[in-house]
Amino acid sequence: MDGRYEVRAIGRVESPLRERAQAPKQGDEGGPDAWLVFEPRVARGLRDLTVGQDVLLLTWLDRADRNVLAVHPRGEAARPETGVFATRSPDRPNPIGLHRVTVLALDPDGLRVRVSDLEALDGTPVLDVKPVLDGGTER
């Protein structure tokens, strides 16, 4: 049991955000709307998503540095260095992004989902979508 597991992208983000320097630190700071483009093999899993629903999107932050264990929060040098598990830094051992978004539109083929306020970069792999369980703000 060596603790290594393989995740496989179920889709990709299509977004105007191309570089980390452009990206807001969190989605509620002004991330753009974006498309999630899913692979045909997972279509059956998507069929019960609905417009207006809030979901949690899990992504693989493929441009992150996995060797980082401490950061200056939000990249501000004046803030004391902090262990990554007490921050939302994308740089961390398993760079899984967690984003709360609202479903804005669904393409008729079921494989393209428009979502609000997503800070993930264009091309970011999508790993999972989960419904929000209650009315909380969940971020």
Q: Which residues bind a second copy (CB under 8 A)?
A: 3-10, 26, 42, 44-50, 53, 55-56, 58, 60, 62, 69-70, 82-88, 92-94, 96, 98, 125, 127-139
Whole-angstrom distance, CA of residue 64 vs CA of residue 90: 6
Question: At a CB cut-off of 8 Å and minimum separation 6, what does 101 contact?
Answer: 27, 54, 55, 57, 115, 116, 117, 118
Q: Which is nearer to a second copy, 32 or 87 (CB)?
A: 87
As measured in angstroms, the least distance from the Cβ of 139 to a second copy is: 4
As measured in angstroms, the least distance from the Cβ of 127 to a second copy is: 5
Q: Which is nearer to a second copy, 17 or 100 (CB)?
A: 100
Question: Whose structure tokens read 């899984």?
Answer: 96
How many CB atoms within 10 Å of residue 91? 17
Q: Which is nearer to a second copy, 32 or 73 (CB)?
A: 73
